[in-house]
Amino acid sequence: MKNFFRLILKYIPRPWLIRGSYLAKDILAILMYGTRYEDPIDGRTYRSLLPYGYGDRQRPNVLAPASLSLERHRLMWLYLKNHTNFFTARMKVLHIAPEQCFYGIFRKMKNLDYTTADLESPLADMHFDLHDIPLPDNTYDAVFCNHVLEHVTDDLKCLGEILRILKPGGWAIMQVPLDLTRSKTFADPTITDRAERERIFGQYDHVRVYGTDYPERLKQAGFCIEYFDIKNHLPADMIDRYRIQPSEFLYIAKKPQ
């Protein structure tokens, strides 16, 4: 079955996979039921998770069938649930390119004034270019913008726009794919060939690959950074049970008061 899913991920276009996932996820959750692994977002348990990744960069045992969450989603969920007042405080939230595993839950939360945004998705409440956000200064308590910055032309300009629309003291979570072997973020706008982009940046629609200097880029844009290391809060067996990547930090970017 795992080889079957690897072939699907490799050869079926991602938009088709997204549409098909809504139809198949409940069936897959039943077929893969077990007690070895747990998705903290919905509490469902599995004997194994699905593989996920682009092209030949597939990771085994990472995609939870029912919620469609990945390692990074479960990390963010545990941070929000156990280390913030996100689920209880009144907050004005902007969610850019909202993830499937969060969208339905956050939309129903009574304490949130929740708005979604995307460049062109018909499901989003608003549509705009992240380089020029058509929203007033000091508007939001929190912004989520995950796995977006590797797609934009000028990430520092986009970060500046997110900083601008946050209220003083507001915070943002902006996860990006990190190459932990690379000390410096690399971008080259002259690379336009799809195959070459995939080889260098990891995906044909990425325009940069982030290195371990990513938090410094957040600081360069004007944010103050807090680091969340899941290893300081969960034992190794629970990190494995939730299928979280233990080497991944969560960077919470705060707008100075």
- The residues with which 78 forms a beta bridge, in sequence order, are none
pLDDT score of 53: 82
pLDDT score of 58: 83
Per-residue model confidence as pLDDT tens digits over 160-203: 999 999 999 999 999 999 999 999 999 988 888 988 888 888 88
Tell me the three state secondary structure of residue 196.
helix
pLDDT score of 235: 98
Mean pLDDT of 77-93: 98
Residues of the chain with CATH 3.40.50.150: 72-254
Q: Domain 72-254 is of which CATH architecture?
A: 3-Layer(aba) Sandwich (3.40)
Give the distance, in angstroms, between the CA of residue 71 and the centroid of all CA atoms in the same chain: 9
What is the chain's alpha carbon radius of gyration, rounded to the nearest angstrom?
A: 18
Per-residue model confidence as pLDDT tens digits over 113-156: 999 999 988 889 999 999 999 999 999 999 999 999 999 999 99
User: Which residue in this structure is represented by tokens 């409440």?
Assistant: 125
Per-residue model confidence as pLDDT tens digits over 8-66: 445 445 445 555 556 677 888 889 999 999 999 999 999 999 998 876 778 999 999 99
| Contacts with 130 (C-beta within 8 Å, 6 or more apart), sequence order | 96, 119, 145, 148, 152, 158, 161, 162
